[in-house]
């Protein structure tokens, strides 16, 4: 090997090539075969003190170059991966590829990586700026002075999820003066023990047994993803800041305190200090309805407006949004828990078709819109008529008689490329699982009030696996499919709303640009109303 490298150094053009690279000049080399390219790269890496990035033709070339250079240099150069798949591991999913990229980029920025291999696709992917990466990263040592609250704040800022038990990368937990952190930069989680504001001890622990296995001399904390809401002026929080607004959730399941991961309820880091309403305030045993939502959201909107701020509704439950915007009233709707329970029991015994036929006799309009499998709405329609004497369809007409006080600008996020949308949905499911969705589903499905949970996508799909009647792979695939179908139903719902302005996410490079597009729509809406 050394003989080959020495022969390269004797070539007349080699010193000129070396000088050009050291002075950051552009040079071109042609006519070299694959193995000769590796020879040349190895020689230049040994003879120059500057870090180098080698951009390969494709993934296979990157792997081949990695193997050849390891033989010449005595160490394996890391590969900066592209989106979705590791070069060397086609089974890698979720945030793994991002975390690998961040480790590579962080080490490169710190000068710890003299040689990095990648492809043009991977090299051109958007990532966070170096300054933001260093701002979010931390290096912790035993004996370091650090306030516990500051550590928690920085972890949330870097996209970490707080949980009761650390099992995967990007999670942390706090128990008194003990903090468990699983950084993407580490192979194992680390346990910190504080004495006042000082890190007293640090040690790796096994995430399965939760037992400490060895001491740690250093912990490098990196962000959990290349793009983080906490590091960008975008997202709904960015829009809220631009408009001096507060967010009102329009999600029928995010109201429950126990349903966090599976409903994608925003974390403290994601909310970024922006006031959010109607999130996580209900126990599972308490039912929630569109009538109550309109009441709660109207109260929140009135309070926000009275303080001179702008109410911003955000969520995908189309019925809740439309009912609020149309200012529907539900004064005539009656509630009889005993009657509802009896009707549900009948539905289980006789089937939904029998109850739908009964509903058709006194409310054909409502019955025509319902499927026999939609037993919940069938039961509610019968209950409303039995308790008030007024069909649900007539109640809806009367409720619309009151004009809406709202001049709303309705923005709907969509994707021009359906495959991009579905890929993001699949990635989100993987991220939820990594954040502890299985444990959350096990906990809530085993509660006495699991009936509420079965209405939410993200829990019922995992039930067969948790009950031992199906595989995890099948459950995850069913969850992804259910989510994709729900997204299609959501888009169909909003397309029926004539006032909706569709904004396509894949038209913009990042969240900040998306916020600017939303602001343009909003300003146009205001100008039209003032003309």
Per-residue three-class SS string for 227-274 = CCHHHCCCHHHHHHHHCCEEEEECCCCCCECCCCCCCCCCCHHHHCCC
What is the number of H-type helices and E-type strands within the chain? 23, 15
At 253-264, the pLDDT tens digits run: 999 999 999 999
At 121-170, the pLDDT tens digits run: 888 777 777 777 887 788 899 999 988 888 887 887 787 878 888 988 88
Considering the domain 232-326+405-530 in this protein, what is its CATH number? 3.40.50.300
Confidence of residue 28 (pLDDT cuts 50, 70, 90): confident
| 337-399 matches 232-326+405-530 in CATH topology | no
Q: Give the span between the Cα atoms of 279 and 252, in whole angstroms.
A: 10
Vertex 419 angle, CA 415 and 421, to 5°: 45
Q: For residue 89, what pLDDT is reported?
A: 37
Q: For residue 246, what pLDDT is reported?
A: 94
Based on its alpha-carbon atoms, the radius of gyration of the chain, rounded to whole angstroms, reads: 29
Q: Domain 131-221 class?
A: alpha beta
**Cα 193 from chain centre:** 30
Q: Give the span between the Cα atoms of 347 and 361, in whole angstroms.
A: 17
With a cut of 50, say whether residue 209 has pLDDT above it. yes
In the beta sheet, which residues pair with residue 203?
A: 191, 215
Q: For residue 399, what pLDDT is reported?
A: 67
Count of all residues that appear for the chain in the document? 531
| Closest to 183 (Cα-Cα) out of 172, 194, 199 | 172
- How much is the pTM? 0.52
What average pLDDT score do residues 191-216 get? 91
2-127 architecture in CATH?
3-Layer(aba) Sandwich (3.40)
With a cut of 60, say whether residue 333 has pLDDT above it. no
Confidence of residue 92 (pLDDT cuts 50, 70, 90): very low
With a cut of 80, say whether residue 303 has pLDDT above it. yes
Q: Please tell me the least confidently modeled range out of 14-28, 76-90, 178-192.
A: 76-90
Q: For residue 282, what pLDDT is reported?
A: 92
In sequence order, which residues have a C-beta less than 8 Å from that of residue 125 and are 6 or more positions away? Answer: 82, 83, 101, 226
Confidence of residue 487 (pLDDT cuts 50, 70, 90): very high
Q: For residue 350, what pLDDT is reported?
A: 92
With a cut of 80, say whether residue 83 has pLDDT above it. no
Angle between the N-to-C axes of helices 352-362 and 337-350, in degrees from 0 to 180, rounded to the nearest 10 = 120
Q: Give the span between the Cα atoms of 114 and 25, in whole angstroms.
A: 19
For residue 220 the two structure tokens come to 């490098």
Terminus-to-terminus CA distance in the chain, angstroms?
A: 78
At 95-106, the pLDDT tens digits run: 677 778 888 888
Q: Give me the CATH topology for the region 337-399.
A: Histone, subunit A (1.10.20)
Q: Give the span between the Cα atoms of 365 and 348, in whole angstroms.
A: 24
Within 10 A of 241 (CB to CB), how many other CB atoms are there?
15
With a cut of 60, say whether residue 492 has pLDDT above it. yes
Please state whether 164 falls in left (phi above 0), alpha (psi between -120 and 50) or beta.
alpha
With a cut of 70, say whether residue 2 has pLDDT above it. no
Confidence of residue 231 (pLDDT cuts 50, 70, 90): very low
Please state, for a pLDDT cut of 70, what percent of the chain lies above it.
91
Q: Please tell me the least confidently modeled range out of 107-121, 142-156, 229-243.
A: 229-243
More confident residue, 492 or 3: 492
- Identify the residue whose tokens are 């798949």: 85
With a cut of 90, say whether residue 326 has pLDDT above it. no
Please state, for a pLDDT cut of 90, what percent of the chain lies above it.
33
At 157-202, the pLDDT tens digits run: 787 878 888 988 888 999 989 999 999 888 899 999 999 989 999 9
The CA distances from residue 67 to 1, 54, 183, in Å, are: 14, 14, 28
At 348-391, the pLDDT tens digits run: 899 999 999 999 999 999 999 888 888 888 998 898 888 888 88
Spell 343-352 as b/e; 16+ CB within 10 A means b: bbebbeeeeb
Extents of the domains making up the chain:
2-127, 131-221, 232-326+405-530, 337-399
């Amino acid at each position: 090997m050394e003989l080959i490298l020495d022969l390269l150094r004797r070539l007349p053009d080699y010193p000129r090539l070396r000088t050009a690279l050291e002075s950051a000049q552009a040079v071109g080399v042609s006519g070299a075969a694959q193995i000769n390219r590796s020879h040349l790269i190895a020689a230049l890496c040994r003879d120059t003190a500057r870090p180098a990035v080698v951009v390969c033709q494709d993934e296979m070339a990157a792997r081949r170059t990695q193997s050849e250079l390891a033989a010449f240099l005595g160490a394996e150069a890391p590969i900066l991966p592209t989106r979705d798949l590791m070069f060397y591991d086609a089974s890698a999913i979720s945030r793994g590829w991002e975390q690998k990229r961040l480790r590579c980029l962080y080490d490169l920025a710190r000068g710890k990586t003299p040689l990095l291999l990648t492809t043009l696709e991977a090299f051109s992917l958007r990532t966070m700026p170096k300054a933001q990466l260093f701002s979010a990263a931390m290096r912790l040592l035993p004996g370091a002075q650090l306030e516990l609250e500051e550590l928690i704040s920085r972890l949330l800022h870097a996209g970490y999820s707080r949980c009761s038990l650390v099992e995967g990368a990007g999670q942390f937990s706090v128990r008194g003066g003990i903090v468990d952190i699983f950084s993407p930069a580490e192979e194992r989680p680390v346990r910190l023990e504080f004495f006042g504001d000082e890190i007293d001890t640090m040690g790796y622990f096994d995430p399965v047994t939760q037992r400490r296995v060895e001491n740690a001399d250093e912990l490098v904390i990196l962000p959990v993803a290349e793009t983080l809401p906490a590091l960008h002026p975008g997202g709904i929080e960015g829009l809220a800041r631009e408009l001096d607004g507060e967010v009102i959730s329009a999600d029928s399941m995010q109201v429950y305190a126990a349903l966090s991961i599976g409903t994608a309820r925003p974390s403290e880091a994601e909310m970024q200090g922006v006031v959010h309403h109607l999130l996580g305030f209900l126990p599972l045993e308490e039912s929630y309805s569109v009538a109550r939502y309109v009441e709660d959201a109207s109260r929140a909107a009135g309070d926000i407006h009275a303080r001179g701020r702008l109410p911003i509704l955000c969520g995908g439950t189309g019925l809740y949004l439309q009912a609020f915007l149309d200012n529907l009233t539900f004064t005539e709707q009656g509630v009889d828990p005993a009657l509802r329970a009896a009707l549900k029991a009948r539905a289980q015994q006789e089937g939904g078709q029998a109850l739908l036929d009964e509903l058709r006799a006194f409310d054909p309009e409502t019955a025509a819109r319902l499927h026999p499998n939609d037993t919940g709405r069938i039961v509610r329609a019968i209950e409303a008529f039995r308790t008030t004497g007024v069909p649900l369809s007539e109640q809806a007409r009367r409720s619309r008689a009151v004009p809406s006080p709202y001049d709303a600008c309705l923005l709907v996020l969509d994707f021009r490329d359906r495959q991009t949308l579905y890929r993001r949905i699949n990635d989100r499911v993987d991220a939820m699982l990594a954040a502890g969705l299985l444990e959350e589903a096990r906990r809530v499905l085993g509660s006495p009030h699991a009936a509420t949970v079965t209405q939410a996508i993200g829990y019922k799909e995992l039930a067969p696996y948790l009950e031992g009647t199906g595989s995890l792979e099948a459950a995850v695939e069913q969850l992804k499919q259910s989510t994709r179908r729900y997204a299609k139903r959501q888009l169909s719902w909003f397309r029926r709303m004539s006032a909706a302005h569709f904004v396509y996410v894949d038209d913009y490079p990042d969240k900040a640009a998306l916020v600017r597009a939303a602001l343009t729509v909003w300003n146009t809406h205001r100008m039209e109303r003032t003309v």
